[in-house]
Amino acid sequence: MHITLNLSGPYGANLSDTDPERLRELSHRSVKVSIIIVLGAMITLGNVAVLLVITSSVAGWSRNSRYFLLSLTAADSAFGLLVMPLNLWVSLLKDYTEGPDALCHVVAFCNATVYSTCMYTLATISLERYIAVFYPLQYSTLMTRKRTLLLIAFAWCFPPFLLSPISFPDGIIEVHFSTASLVCNPSYSTNVAYSLSLTCLIFFPCSIVMTYANLRVWCAAKRQTLKLRKYSCARRSRPNVASRVLVPVMAAYFTCWTPCMATMIYNAISGSSVPEWVEFVVVWLPTSNGFLNCIFYFWINRNFRRKFNLILQRLALSLCPKLADTLGCSYPSTAQFTSGFLDNNNSVHERSSSVSSTCTLLTLA
């Protein structure tokens, strides 16, 4: 008995049950699409929750800190709201042919820009915290509002300028749609020099800044913790918050980004590709950093969790007051508004607030 499956789209038509290779390809593709959708939903929901909190004041977070964290949230949200929908739409609806494809060039440009912006933003956050810890008296002079916004603008504007050759169909970089990773990938092997220069201008500088700044802050926090344990027996049971925050941040960064960069360099130099599932994992692994950032930069902070609970309580009261009355909920009292959870951080001196947000490495229990 012969059964013919008529399927339209980039994966062809007239597939029969006697073609196991094509059926296996379709099965793998459905699994990959499911993974991408779940990951995109996690990233989007996590960053929406973060956005609800940091758009208002959080105790111990300065105005500059909120600017940088808003930039990071926007960059991470772009993974779920821009990168994933664009690549899924291209993979599901467009029928690919050989030769330059203007749409795929645009999608590849968006992918590379979001990835690069995220790395630059992480580097600027590390730099701001380094200045707050080691130059607290000069913080207000070094990290003015104008300089903060310039750093954020650089993180968002320099990557599009640097990656603009990818967007031109007839440019120096060829772009193809990869059925292995379901992504419009630049063919870096066609221009090895440009590929290596991208790595040297994006990944390595950001990694060096993050590693140096976070390592110095971690060492300072470690020394401070040892002093507290030496002179105060009551603090002997205090957990090492520096290790709980900085170590996971750096571990997640290098775990998510290093395989992708190493694969790009390997493809550019060798001219060959890695196995199918290896390519899928290393291409989409950096997007998971957008979800992990929500945990390490935000949810581990006790003030953030308290503010989020208060926001949820106020939303529940406004949307469903009868249910809130049934559950015994009430609006936050005046004491709560003045206790620091709902206060306006701008009334606190900028330098002191920034130092406070950074030194949660030492004081957060």
CB atoms within 10 A of CB 329: 14
Q: Which residue has the tokens 């003030």?
A: 303
94 Cβ contact list (under 8 Å, min separation 6): 10, 103, 104, 177
Distance (Å) of CA 298 to CA 213, 245, 270, 307: 19, 10, 40, 11
Q: Check if the beta carbon of residue 310 is closer than 8 Å to that of residue 332.
A: yes
CA angle at residue 8 from 6 to 10, to 5 degrees? Answer: 130
Give me the residues of the chain with pLDDT under 50, please.
1-17, 234-235, 331-365
pLDDT tens digits along 184-208: 888 766 667 777 777 888 899 999 9
* Architecture of the CATH domain 4-302+334-363: Up-down Bundle (1.20)
- Structure-block tokens of residue 130: 């380094």
What pLDDT sits at residue 221?
82
Instruction: Give every CB contact of residue 40 below 8 A, 6+ residues apart in sequence.
Output: 79, 80, 84, 85, 287
Distance CA 120, CA 126 (A): 10
Query: What pTM was estimated for this model as a whole?
Result: 0.78
Please tell me the predicted confidence (pLDDT) of residue 95: 55
Using a 10 angstrom Cβ sphere, with 0-12 exposed, 13-18 middle and 19 or more buried, the burial of residue 141 is: exposed
The crossing angle, in degrees rounded to 10, of helices 102-134 and 350-358 is 100
C-alpha–C-alpha distance, residues 253 and 28, integer Å = 27
Contact 50, 295 (CB under 8 A): no
pLDDT at position 341, please? 35
CA 318 from chain centre, in angstroms, equals 31
Torsion angle of the four alpha carbons 364, 70, 50, 322, in this order, in degrees rounded to the nearest 10 = 110
For the chain, the structural domain boundaries read 4-302+334-363
Q: For tokens 């964290």, what's the residue?
A: 69
Q: How many residues does the chain have?
A: 365
In degrees and rounded to multiples of 5, residue 15 shows phi and psi of -90, 130
**Distance in Å from the first CA to the final CA of the chain:** 69
